[in-house]
């Protein structure tokens, strides 16, 4: 039986047949301010009170600025101080294994993968020289991302949120989506020993015995992708077609967050557009956001 992980949102797990599926990918789609970050952090924090006994981690792919304010929300909602991992610090195998012996985390729980640019990183937004420079720099960003995720997964993290994904007309034109594809297919869903080979490279044989004692099962890891949509209306999100080759069309679960009209007022509501593997609610689910985070309302 596939393990399920709590979303951390009161009442939502029941609407999802028990929660999100381990080993699967969930996409949360909504405009800025819809509550994607709150829901994502609630999901990560829920790991602390389960048999995982630890929170999950955030991989932030935004390049224009941290409009999501992960650190602020984590502190105010859960008194959780996010520890940021420096993407420019190279992976140190000796410190990595020493951290296990000391019982302390090797990496932080938040990584900003891209440098701050103040602009989108797509082929349409960059000239040819800047595009080539970003493509070249992507290799270094991949190394930092592999080290961040592998070290956290090896030390027990089973929840990942990938945030800051910005809307594009063609996903193939986005550096963000290029890194996202690699993260999901070549790190999160890949056997841990092969991820270690990508990370340790020429040092793999040197540390092979120690690596073998730090394996993890990728089928236990659940990933949420938080995607910022230009549409604010829930109806518009539901009606927007997904192309067959769309990365999100391949996700196990898709949840839309948007606004619905209630008389002369607008109200926040979510809709579980897709949830493979179990029956789920077909209702429009109104919700509110307060100092405890996102919660469903009657």
Going from N- to C-terminal start, the domains of the chain cover 4-221+228-256
Weakest mean pLDDT among 30-34, 48-52, 196-200: 48-52
Percentage of the chain beyond pLDDT 90 is: 62
Phi-psi region of 201 (alpha: psi -120 to 50; beta: other; left: phi over 0): left
Cα–Cα dist 281/286, whole Å: 13
Give the Cα separation of 274 and 27 in Å (integer). 10
- Is pLDDT at 80 greater than 80 in this prediction? yes
Closest by Cα among 288, 226, 222, 218 to 254: 226
How high is the mean pLDDT of the chain?
88
Other beta carbons within 10 Å of 130: 14
Integer-rounded Cα radius of gyration of the chain: 19
Decide if 295 contacts 11 (C-beta within 8 A).
Answer: yes
Question: Which distant-in-sequence residues (6+ apart) come within 8 Å of 49 by Cβ?
Answer: none
d(CA 115, CA 275) in angstroms, rounded, equals: 34
The whole-angstrom separation of Cα 186 and Cα 180 is 10
125-165 pLDDT tens trace: 667 777 677 677 777 788 899 999 999 999 999 999 999 88
H-assigned helices in the chain: 12-15, 36-46, 70-78, 93-102, 128-154, 175-182, 192-200, 208-212, 234-239
Measured distance CA(222)–CA(108) in Å, rounded: 19
Q: H-helix or E-strand containing 48?
A: none
pLDDT in tens, 231-279: 999 999 999 876 655 777 789 999 999 999 988 899 999 999 999 877 7
> pTM (2 decimals)?
0.92
User: 223 with 25: CB under 8 angstroms?
Assistant: yes
């Amino acid at each position: 039986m596939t393990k399920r992980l709590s979303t951390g949102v009161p009442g939502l797990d029941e609407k999802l047949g028990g929660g999100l599926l381990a080993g699967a990918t969930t996409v949360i789609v909504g405009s800025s301010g819809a509550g994607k970050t709150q829901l994502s952090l609630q999901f990560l924090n829920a790991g602390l009170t389960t048999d995982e006994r630890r929170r999950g981690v955030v991989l932030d792919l935004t390049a224009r600025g941290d409009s999501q304010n992960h650190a602020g929300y984590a502190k105010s909602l859960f008194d959780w101080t996010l520890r940021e991992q420096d993407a420019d610090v190279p992976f140190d195998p000796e410190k990595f294994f020493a951290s296990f012996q000391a019982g302390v985390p090797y990496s932080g729980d938040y990584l900003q993968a891209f440098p701050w640019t103040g602009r989108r990183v797509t082929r349409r937004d960059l000239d040819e020289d800047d595009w080539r420079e970003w493509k070249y720099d992507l290799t270094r960003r991949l190394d930092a991302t592999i080290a961040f995720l592998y070290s956290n997964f090896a030390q027990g993290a089973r929840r990942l949120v990938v945030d800051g994904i910005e809307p594009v007309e063609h996903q193939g034109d986005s550096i963000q989506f290029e890194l996202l594809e690699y993260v999901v297919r070549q790190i999160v869903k890949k056997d841990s020993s092969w991820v270690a080979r990508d990370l340790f490279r020429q040092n793999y044989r040197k540390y092979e015995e120690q690596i073998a004692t730090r394996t993890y099962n990728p089928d236990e890891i659940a990933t949420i992708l938080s995607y910022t949509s230009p549409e604010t209306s829930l109806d518009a999100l539901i009606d927007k077609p997904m192309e067959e080759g769309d990365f999100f069309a391949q996700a196990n679960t898709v949840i839309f967050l948007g606004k619905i009209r209630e008389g002369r007022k607008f109200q926040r509501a979510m809709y579980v557009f897709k949830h493979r593997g179990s029956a789920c609610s077909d209702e429009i689910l109104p919700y509110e956001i307060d100092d405890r985070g996102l919660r469903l309302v009657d």
